[in-house]
Amino acid sequence: MIEIKKYSNQTGHSEPRRIIKYTLFWCNEGHAEILIDENVFVLKHHQIVTITSGQFHQLISVEGDLIALEFTLDFFCKSDSDIELIFHNGLFCHFGMNEIITVQHADFFTETLTLIEKEIKEKPYQYLISTHSLVELLLVEINRSKIANGDEIWKPDALFLKFLESVRNHFSENYPVSHFADMLGSTEAKLNEVSKLHTNKTAQNVIYSLTISEAKRLLLYEKLTVKEIAYQLGFNDPFYFSNFFKKHMSLSPKDYQKSVKN
């Protein structure tokens, strides 16, 4: 549900990996190199980067001290306000828009991570409640740091975030927007409204964007044929999938693979 991992002056993961957890990397000293999907990030001291559940990532190297905080959605998101906090200001963004953030109060951040580690290790009475509160403090500190660094405030809507999660969990079914609306106890019109508010896209185009992001990950990191990927993403016709991908990426699936790997 929640875990702390530490890395110090070492190589990282042997290959890119995908975990269904939300991950926060905090560089306390030195620097670290991290691959997230197809992009490499160099994290320096007192900086963090967040990784959304389902993204591929690889810790390439650490020169100094790096801490990883991993937690599941069901651990953290007990209410709509929790869901909105975890995605506030795009912290854990579903669209692969990862960013490096410099934290303003580094000592507070390190101390809070240390408290979380202590709670997890010792498991005192109601430790899951205390760790939840401490993670909340970390996310608030990140949001305050983003604002202090000049970022605009972006307040997400819980319904929109539930919609994103539902799409990600049901790629293979290829559900229409109306089906997601029924699943969420909403309407197609409301999903279009919140989608346009947050992305300036219709709900259907949000589904397309998430599908393309997932297709890129599968093409890069899974040993699957284009045909297998098409079926996994709900396409009955692999040729149609290839055309869909090319329309959005201006490259065929195989050409995209070659361009990134080269």
pTM of the model: 0.89
Q: What is the CATH number assigned to the segment(s) 2-148?
A: 2.60.120.280
User: What CA–CA distance (Å, rounded) separates 22 from 25?
Assistant: 10
| Portions of the chain given CATH number 2.60.120.280 | 2-148
| Portions of the chain given CATH number 1.10.10.60 | 158-261
SS3 content of the chain, % helix, strand, coil (to 5): 50, 20, 25
Is the distance from CB of 242 to CB of 226 less than 8 angstroms?
Answer: yes
pLDDT at res. 205: 97
pLDDT at res. 95: 74
List strand residue ranges (DSSP E) for the chain, in order. Answer: 2-11, 17-18, 22-36, 39-44, 47-51, 56-71, 100-102
pLDDT in tens, the chain (262 residues): 999 999 999 887 888 999 889 999 999 999 999 999 989 999 999 999 999 988 999 999 999 999 999 999 999 999 999 989 988 888 887 777 899 999 999 999 999 999 999 999 999 999 999 999 999 999 999 999 999 988 888 888 899 989 999 999 999 999 999 999 999 999 999 999 999 988 899 999 999 999 999 999 999 999 999 999 999 999 999 999 999 999 999 999 999 999 887 6
Is the distance from CB of 31 to CB of 44 less than 8 angstroms?
Answer: yes
The residue assigned the tokens 């390439």 is 60
User: What CA–CA distance (Å, rounded) separates 228 from 150?
Assistant: 44
Please state which architecture CATH assigns to domain 158-261.
Answer: Orthogonal Bundle (1.10)
pLDDT at res. 186: 97
User: What CA–CA distance (Å, rounded) separates 95 from 93?
Assistant: 6
Q: What six digits make up the tokens of 257?
A: 């693979």
